[in-house]
Structure 1
């Protein structure tokens, strides 16, 4: 399962196609994904890429829960239960929200799991978790699969977190949906203007 180059200690091999992928990657709405999505071996490759991110202190402040098939329906039930428990939502609203978890073929729950083993600021650990999620999107695209990173109310619910076995200090960083590409490819969305976001040189006072 390990990449042959990295297992031999060959790193940072130039690959111009990677830049093209980064400049053209586009999220696909989970509800539009088709097919069965990546198999277990491919999911493992995507997660290996997720774990090769900057990680100050080597704390690995993230972990992942993979849900497929009926397991996603269990999450849907948990979300509905949480809505009623925390928000006093009606049964109708709660029932509708069950579909959130079953939008795409495969769901990887990225869990932010900070560590106090070393004095690394919490915000740096959050950045590492975010990088892991981004690596998943890039890896999935590189392997020919559609992907989308979602958060929303369920990602902050302690009822949902507890139901997934998260500890008190852990939090859901994202619901990462993976699947096959739909027949219609996604269109481009508005992007920030380069000159408004980038300044070359030391900023003037």
Structure 2
């Protein structure tokens, strides 16, 4: 019979992201962030390729990224209300970690496995931040998917892309629970 880690299971059964717009200073220091990043890097990684890396966005870089978001969103023809919404994550941010997928050349594994591992890093980072007592939220949107923005903002190489931004700071309130999947409708049991 396995020995359960009930505290970890209870955390996973009740975890809830905190909306980024409700997070406030302080954000974790570099020392406080180190174990969170270390926990995220323990994600399953078939082939030991490490197909991801982190860019920590501190408060001082947020205004520059907000302005760059607006610049590239205007160039892409987004309407003003969408531009304002897209720049908010940086206008209101205190600390975020950009999780960068680094697509490695390999014939041993399908490329999609690197994407799966990168997504798992995002969730592990989010959960590690929450488990450490911080509020955290995983955002993407235009600043994650617009190539000209990500190249200018972060100098990404051709084989790199942003999987998401994990915003981490002090939570101001616990959000209400939201509807969760109906397990019966999404689970199939194969017995034979």
Aligned: 1:75 with 2:75: no
Aligned residues: 189
User: Which residues of structure 1 form unaligned runs of 5+?
Assistant: 1-12
Partner of 1:30: 20
- Indicate how the Cα distance of structure 1 residues 99 and 47 shifts in structure 2: closer, same or farther if over 3 A, else same: same
The answer to whether the 8 Å contact 1:82/1:160 transfers is yes
Q: Pick from 14, 25, 30: which aligns with 1:40? A: 30
Map residues 27-176 of structure 1 onto 2, 5 A cutoff.
27-87=17-77, 94=83, 97-163=86-152, 164-176=154-166
Q: Which moves more between the two structures, 37-46 or 80-89?
A: 80-89
Quote the Cα distance in structure 1 between the aligned partners of 2:133 and 2:85. 31
Q: TM-score with structure 1 length normalisation?
A: 0.85
Q: TM-score with structure 2 length normalisation?
A: 0.90
- 1:42, distance to aligned residue in structure 2 (A): 1.6
User: Which residues of structure 2 form unaligned runs of 5+?
Assistant: none
The answer to whether the 8 Å contact 1:68/1:106 transfers is yes
Please tell me the root mean square deviation across aligned C-alpha atoms, in Å.
2.0
Which one has the bigger strand percentage?
A: 2
Partner of 1:192: 181
